[in-house]
Structure 1
Amino acid sequence: MMGHAATTPTPDTATAPPLVEARGIVKHFDLGGHFLQRERPMVKALNDVSIAVRRGEAFCLVGESGCGKSTLARVIMGLLDPTEGEIHFDGTRIDALRHKARRPFHRRMQMIFQNPYASLNPRRTVQQTLEEPVRFHFPALSDAEVKERVERVMVSVGNDPGWGQRYPHEFSGGQRQRISIARAMMVDPDLVVADEPISALDVSIQAQVLNVMMDTREKHDLTYLFITHDLSVVRHFGSRVGVMYLGTLCELAETATLFARPRHPYTRILLSAIPRVSTEEMQPPGLPGEVPSAMNLPSGCVFHDRCPLANTRCSAEVPKALPQDDGALVACHAVEEGRG
């Protein structure tokens, strides 16, 4: 699908300190309810999730819709406040900062959203859209310097600088998403959080947008947190992968390790469902039932009622993420006990 080979972490990236860390993140959404209810209904979107994204890597979060990966991205970006836990950026805890104190970090953390048709203001030209963050974060720049920056960034992501006087409705979905990438790059960020950035695009142009993102990472020394449900994309784009299910982190590993030796039963089922060219290689997903409600989480391991390896311990005890011999982290009693 992609023109690039799979991303392999360099020694520098593999040993780099984390640029952003989420520590023990819990996020519950209060749904209100009747005043006579003893307990208010609560969506438990994230349940003690911890990740550390190294500087310079492309860290991918994968899982089915509703698993909490987009919620985690928004907590990291400060669009949502965590119920519990901490967010650290470049060694500083930022979730507890007031808005003004957090402003310098806003410039260093940018986001690309899923829907390119909704993320650009239809009343602003492309030039106005791209100039706005520059003028806000770099008020000392002259008009000429701002325009020069817009042109330079547009060219760097493969866009025509002549697009500046046009409006979003004049562009295709792929072109709009490339404009969104340019907008994120306008303020020289360190981290770009991309939330399903190609899922709303035609398959024919998904590879084009991904290649632009990969090239931009190399040119600008970017760190990516890439949210997706498509493991075939992860294989080509990611340096490390975190697999989420129902608000918990099941497995975390280098991309090559995860695809060569998946350990968690949920990860194995996800990988078995990737379409393959040869029908002889295709295997049924084998995942019974439906994802439980995040309002009423299963006891113990949240995956136990759908897991082919579950036993009584799995239904009673929440598994801890334990390190493996190749550096992976796996939260699974069956793996810990060698039942897999």
Structure 2
Amino acid sequence: MTATAIAPSHKAPATDADRTLLEIRGLEKRFSLSGDFLEQLKFKGGRLVREQKFVHAINGIDLDIRRGEALCVVGESGCGKSTVARIVMGLIHPSGGEIHYDGTRIDDLSTKSLMPYRRRMQMIFQNPYASLNPRMTIQQTLEEPIRLHHPDWNRQQVADKVAEVMHSVGVAPDWGKRYGHEFSGGQRQRIAIARALAVDPEFIVADEPISALDVSIQAQVLNLLMDAQQQRNLTYLFITHDLAVVEHFGTRVAVMYLGRVCEVAPTATLFATPRHPYTRALLSAIPRLEDDRPQHIRLKGEVPTPVNLPSGCVFHARCPHANARCREEVPTLIAHDGGGRVACHAIEEGRLV
């Protein structure tokens, strides 16, 4: 795979604040399970009461994404990774918290005010079989976002841009006359990537873009994404559950568990010296050939339901290092000397190193 090249600069070094493109602060998302108002009314003990149940998908997330990096968000199914991606892109609204893009808060903007950011931010979806309109040719699919964001362009300018972006992802020009169902999954995902790149974005959210593809095709799509990052200076929020992909693709990694961020660290640091007990268990499950690899860590118990969240640290029921404080107090992300941050009372108190 190709490595991301960083052009030399003679300017003063940028601070983290200067480099930050996206800021997520206190992000929360609850999905109601109670239906409408009338369905929430119940008779209990001879009284009419209102009952509401929620799925607590996201529970107070803080993340920064820096310009030019690929931040990978990992965790098991149901931890809230894809929900974060959709909230960032404005596809669903948060229940709490704020999202700032390039210094401007965007989660509370109207549809009209959000339009300039729609061009700068694009998304690649997980399922290439569902993300392409079956009624549109590939040419129409690629022209649509260009015409939307560049209404002043003439037909030739649009056609030239489509041809350029098709070439950049290895799509043959004659594909434009065909429909999505005529292509394989890998070919469709190339088309979906071309659609995202058609408006020259600077930030791309990729929600498990290779999980629906054959293993033989996954490396090709990953290489394509890495080449696009190098050539276009893209910033990625990359959602995945494949830790092998993270190790090759990610600049930094955020590990999620039950709607919270457990640990954030540079990729090399996280894989070499994971700090959080959940991160250690997660990485120990990666199949490796080395004889000196750590033993697989078997977690006890089951993942708690996001409907009734446990108190304190959401991981305490499965953690061998949990104490009374872990069961009562929610840990916050604290910086460590490896350049990352971890949310763990045991590490903070020195009980776990």
Both proteins in one fold, TM over 0.5: yes
Asked if the contact 2:122/2:196 (under 8 Å) is kept, the reply is yes
1:267 is aligned to: 279
- 2:194 aligned with 1:182: yes
Spell out the pairing of 1:1-340 with structure 2 (5 A cutoff).
Answer: 3-4=1-2, 15=16, 16-32=18-34, 34-36=40-42, 38-278=50-290, 281=293, 283-340=295-352
- Of the two, which has the highest radius of gyration? 2
How far apart are 1:10 and its partner, in Å?
8.3
How far apart are 1:115 and its partner, in Å?
0.3
| 2: CA distance, partners of 1:230 / 1:13 | 32
In the alignment, residue 23 of structure 1 is paired with which amino acid? R
How far apart are 1:282 and its partner, in Å?
6.8
Alignment CA distance shift 1:40-1:9 (3 Å): farther
How far apart are 1:14 and its partner, in Å?
8.2
| 1: CA distance, partners of 2:83 / 2:291 | 36
Deviations 1:242-277 (A, max 9, x none): 000000000001111111110000000111001113
Asked if the contact 1:13/1:56 (under 8 Å) is kept, the reply is no
Asked if the contact 2:2/2:227 (under 8 Å) is kept, the reply is no
> Which deviates further from its counterpart, 33-42 or 105-114?
33-42
How far apart are 1:305 and its partner, in Å?
0.3
TM-score normalised by structure 1 residue count: 0.95
| 1: CA distance, partners of 2:7 / 2:159 | 35
| 2: CA distance, partners of 1:266 / 1:115 | 28
How far apart are 1:337 and its partner, in Å?
1.2
In the alignment, residue 293 of structure 1 is paired with which amino acid? T
Alignment CA distance shift 1:57-1:332 (3 Å): same
In the alignment, residue 301 of structure 2 is paired with which amino acid? G
Asked if the contact 1:13/1:55 (under 8 Å) is kept, the reply is no
| 2: CA distance, partners of 1:9 / 1:220 | 12
Alignment CA distance shift 1:225-1:40 (3 Å): same
Asked if the contact 2:34/2:51 (under 8 Å) is kept, the reply is no
How far apart are 1:300 and its partner, in Å?
0.5
How far apart are 1:19 and its partner, in Å?
0.9
How far apart are 1:311 and its partner, in Å?
1.2
Deviations 1:284-314 (A, max 9, x none): 2412222110000111000000011111111
> Which deviates further from its counterpart, 12-21 or 179-188?
12-21
Instruction: Determine helix, strand or coil for the equivalent of 1:119.
Output: coil
How far apart are 1:237 and its partner, in Å?
0.4
Deviations 1:153-178 (A, max 9, x none): 11111221221111111111011001
Q: What runs of 5+ residues in structure 1 fail to find an aligned partner?
A: none
How far apart are 1:26 and its partner, in Å?
0.9
| 2: CA distance, partners of 1:177 / 1:293 | 33
The count of corresponding residues between Structure 1 and Structure 2 is 337
| 1: CA distance, partners of 2:269 / 2:15 | 13
Alignment CA distance shift 1:70-1:13 (3 Å): farther
> Which deviates further from its counterpart, 209-218 or 155-164?
155-164
| 1: CA distance, partners of 2:332 / 2:292 | 36
In the alignment, residue 169 of structure 1 is paired with which amino acid? H
Instruction: Determine helix, strand or coil for the equivalent of 1:147.
Output: helix
Alignment CA distance shift 1:315-1:276 (3 Å): same
| 2: CA distance, partners of 1:117 / 1:213 | 19
In the alignment, residue 149 of structure 1 is paired with which amino acid? K
Asked if the contact 2:207/2:239 (under 8 Å) is kept, the reply is yes
| 2: CA distance, partners of 1:190 / 1:39 | 44
How far apart are 1:332 and its partner, in Å?
0.1
Asked if the contact 1:122/1:167 (under 8 Å) is kept, the reply is yes
